[in-house]
Chain A
Amino acid sequence: MAYRLRWKGSNRRRVRRNVNLSPKERAIEIALTIATWSSVVALGAVFAELMLGAIPAFLTIDIIGFFTGTVWNPAHPTHPLYGILPLFVGTLMVSFGAAAIAIPIGLGCSIWLAELASPRIRSIFKPAIEILAGIPSVIFGFFALVILSEWISIVFDPVTKLNALNGAIMLAVMMIPIMVTVAEDAMNSVPSSLREASLALGATRWETLRHVVLPAALSGIVAAIVLAFGRAVGETMTVLMATGNAPQLTFDFLRSVQTMTAAIAIDFGEVVFGSEHYHVLFAVGLVLFVITFAINFLADWVVRRYKEDY
């Protein structure tokens, strides 16, 4: 029987391929390759569109003013101001505020589910939390608008009822299920033989968790945080409904803010196609893209730096 085999791939990492694939096997290979490429191409197309849309903005407006300007007033008939800082700070306040609430709670919840809960309890809680992750964001926004803002007014007596805190809390509620789903899976997949080894050495449950389980699950936990944070930064509908949408530069959580996403969503409905304002919104989108990109890179670095393979 004569098998014809050939070497494929680059010189450094050769994979020996079987060339006698049946048509079915080959079709599956091609289909999978197409699936991969189409998602990469889609991402590239979105990024290209964003760049092309943003370039005219950078040609006409003052770039330094765009990044350092403290006033966002693009609709002014004669002197529009395109300072992104109020939106940038608004986005960071809401998303970091949400992360500050969601990360401890989400981590605690995943640890409890993975390490302490009985299998029966876990089989009830885990799907319930996963359902929470699938609720449309407009519903969370509605809740923030109508109920959460009332509670905040009662407790904090804020200047404006719709404010950054309102958005941050609501976003935290949306982040937690994503975090718990991914982080709990990561901790669950740490082999129980490692836990046993640690406990058999006389380590306590907490010591085992802290020094064996968490380091081994680190990449999954970081992925969980990044995924949740990415959602918080990119979330539009909820913050649009919750934060009051006043593009003012403030660091007060009890005041209204507008996030970059909300600004794009609101302004795009009214902007003149092809105008300066139109292109500036693309530039804002580009900044948003760069932020999420940077977070992903940072997470990747953290994982590579501290990862423990098992």
Chain B
Amino acid sequence: MTTTIHTEDLNVYFERNHALIDVTMDIQNNQVTAVIGPSGCGKSTFIRCINRMNDLIPGCVVKGKVLVDGEDVNDDKVDVVDVRRRIGMVFQKPNPFPKSIYENVAYAPRLHGVTEVVDGKVRRRKHTKKELDEIVERSLRRAALWEEVKDRLDKSGMSLSGGQQQRLCIARTLSIDPEIILFDEPCSALDPIATSKIEDLLVDLKKDYTVIIVTHSMQQAARISDRTAFFYLGKMIEMGDTKQIFERPQMELTEQYITGRMG
């Protein structure tokens, strides 16, 4: 297994509040990595460092390195727009755009266009209608939503059920073909059936993508992840193979949390 993401002494401050303290960890290629811990432990803050979403929060300062394929994406010189094209994100609450299902998925490819090399020159052009149709179908199929919506692509994305909306958001993320996909508690607003569909999807996605999921459900982490990191009060307490974390935790705090004595 190769390392995709390596963070080094990552610290996050929200004004006076030290939200993430010296986090150093490795995340492997083509695995599902779960980040667990009680509310307010910094797990969401941590994954939002990876695609620089913390930039949007006034007064937030991120110090340290976030190496993605060896490149420090936390560097000021890095174009944050490029980072986010390579690292997709699915949020806690399904947030489809108030546009049609088709437009939701076509949104990002339309903006980014196609970059191609013609006669040794890099050129950007718009997608043809056929190319866009293909991207939309492929992304929706990959998100296991195609069969349910193929006859109503022109209907609003908001008209879908919660679970379908979340899969639409996943399809939307897949449309830009990222290397890494971050999931920030993607099932916390969903019912059990919708949750199990998303979980199956996540496991399936790791064939092609590196998946990182923040979850407050330990069962979920145990079900779908290969490796698990436990966060507590802004610190990464322990990280290891999921099986090991849940069966033989090395740290006292981890054991207390997974046995339900704390949290």
Contacts and interface: CB of A to CB of B under 8 A. Distances in A.
Contact of B98 (A119, A204, A216): A216
Interface in A179-203: 191, 193-203
Given A193-B91, A211-B107, A310-B158, A199 B98 contact: no
Interface in B80-101: 81-85, 88-89, 91, 93, 95-99
A190 to B, nearest CB: 9
A60 to B, nearest CB: 54
A309 B158 CA distance: 8
A310 B99 CA distance: 9
B108 A196 contact: no
B53 A198 contact: no
Interface string A19-37: 0000000000000000000
A200 B88 contact: yes
A196 B111 contact: no
B127 to A, nearest CB: 15
Contacts of A199: 53, 56, 84
Contacts of B176: 201-202
Contacts of B172: 197, 201
A202 B95 contact: no
Given A207-B111, A310-B158, A201 B95 contact: no
Most A CB contacts (10 A, CB to CB) among B58, B89, B98 go to B98
B63 to A, nearest CB: 21
15 contacts: A195-B56, A196-B95, A200-B84, A200-B88, A200-B89, A201-B84, A202-B85, A203-B108, A203-B111, A207-B111, A215-B98, A216-B98, A308-B99, A309-B156, A310-B158
B112 A202 contact: yes
Contacts of A216: 98
Most B CB contacts (10 A, CB to CB) among A198, A200, A207, A308 go to A200
B51 interface: yes
B173 interface: yes
Interface of B: 51, 53, 56, 58, 81-85, 88-89, 91, 93, 95-99, 107-108, 111-112, 156, 158, 169, 172-173, 175-176
Contacts of A191: 95
Contacts of B97: 194, 197-198, 212, 308
Nearest to B82: A202
Given A207-B111, A309-B158, A310-B158, A200 B98 contact: no
Interface of A: 118-119, 191, 193-204, 207, 211-212, 215-216, 308-310
B91 A196 contact: yes
Given A193-B93, A196-B95, A201 B56 contact: no
Given A196-B56, A308-B98, A202 B91 contact: no
Nearest to A190: B98
A197 B84 contact: no
A191 B51 CA distance: 20
Contacts of B82: 202
A211 B175 CA distance: 17
Given A197-B97, A198-B97, A201-B84, 8 more contacts: A118-B58, A197-B95, A199-B53, A201-B111, A202-B111, A203-B107, A216-B98, A308-B99
Nearest to A202: B85
